[in-house]
Every structure is written in structure tokens, then in C-alpha cells.
Amino acid sequence: MSLPPFQRFLDDHRDLVWRYLAATVGPTEADDCFQETFVAALKAYERLPEGSNLRAWVLTIAQRKALDHFRARGRRAVPVGEVPETGYDDPPPGEDPVWARVRALPAKQRAALTLRYAGNLTHAEVAVALGCSEEAARRSAHEGLKKLRLELHA
């Protein structure tokens, strides 16, 4: 099976990528990351081996773009003493408030949780996306969930 035309790849994955990015960087910032994700995907598309897992591949790119976004935001921020790794913003209306808390988690936990639950990847696919072992991906997701539970039940 050869690669589908890029337009079809875009149409088939736009909902997933949007949902993943809305959870990861928030709905207002999702569009920039969405555009950057598919620009990078278009550039690399032809070199993709046939039979690749397109869903895991595009979420791997989206994950990197989300990370770039958090880094850029970190650089723009004015230091004010002790701050969490990323800011905790109020969730936009209509969103499960848990995602705003997910965005405030440390980078690895955030990435593992969003890929697993917003991107619906398996732990093995998350591991490929993050360049770590499956065990490490599982651990990051587990630690993230544990932290969320503590916060929510506090």
C-alpha cells in the first residue's frame, strides 16, 4: 500500500491532531501548532517508508511542535521567582478542566498523558513518539496521573 495523497492524509488526521493539540497547548494556541505540524509533515512525507503508522507519525510531529511552543512561551515569560514548569491557565469554556492541569505538568508527563489519552496512542507508540522506552512512557503517564489525582483530590 503506497502513501495516500497528502490531502487525504490531512483530511483523515485533522480531527485527531486538532484534538491532541487542543489538549496539549490549549485551543487558542492549537492552530499555530496545527499549521506547523502539517508543514513539517508535508516536507517529510515523501521520505516516509510505505506501511508507516501515519497516526503515530503525525502525532510525533505534533508532540515536537507542542514542545517548541512551550519552550518559546517559557522564553517569553518574565521570571517571577518560583513558578511551575508551565503556567496554569484557566481552562477555556467547554473544555474538561483537567486538560488545563495536564498542560501544567512537567514536560514528559504532559507529553505522555496527551499522546496516550488525547492522541489515543498505545504506550508503545507513545514511546516511539518520545524516543524513550515503553516502560519509561508508561511510567511518565502513571506519574502524571498520580499527580493529577493528588491535585484534584486536594
DSSP 46: G
Single out the segment in contact with another protein by CB under 8 A; choices: 29-37, 69-77, 82-90, 131-139.
Answer: 29-37
* One-character DSSP codes across 112-145: HHIIIIIS---HHHHHHHHTS-HHHHHHHHHHHH
CB 108 within 8 A of CB 63: no
Q: How far is CA 82 from CA 76, 78, 85, 102, 105, in A?
A: 16, 11, 9, 19, 15
Site mask for another protein (CB under 8 A), range 106-125, x = bound: -------x---xx-x-----
Residue list 80-99, contact with another protein (CB under 8 A): 94-99
Residues in binding contact with another protein, number by CB under 8 A: 42
CB 53 within 8 A of CB 121: no
CA distance 129 to 108: 11
Residue 1 found at the interface with another protein (CB under 8 A):
no
Find how far residue 82's CA is from the centre of its chain: 25
Least CB distance to another protein at residue 58 (A): 12
Residue among 35 and 77 whose Cβ is closer to another protein? 35
C-alpha cell at 63: 508532540
Residue 2 found at the interface with another protein (CB under 8 A):
yes
Least CB distance to another protein at residue 127 (A): 18
Site mask for another protein (CB under 8 A), range 42-61, x = bound: xx-xx---------------
Residues that bind another protein (CB under 8 A): 2-8, 10-11, 14-15, 17-19, 22-23, 27, 30-31, 34-35, 38-39, 42-43, 45-46, 94-99, 102, 113, 117-118, 120, 145, 148-149, 152
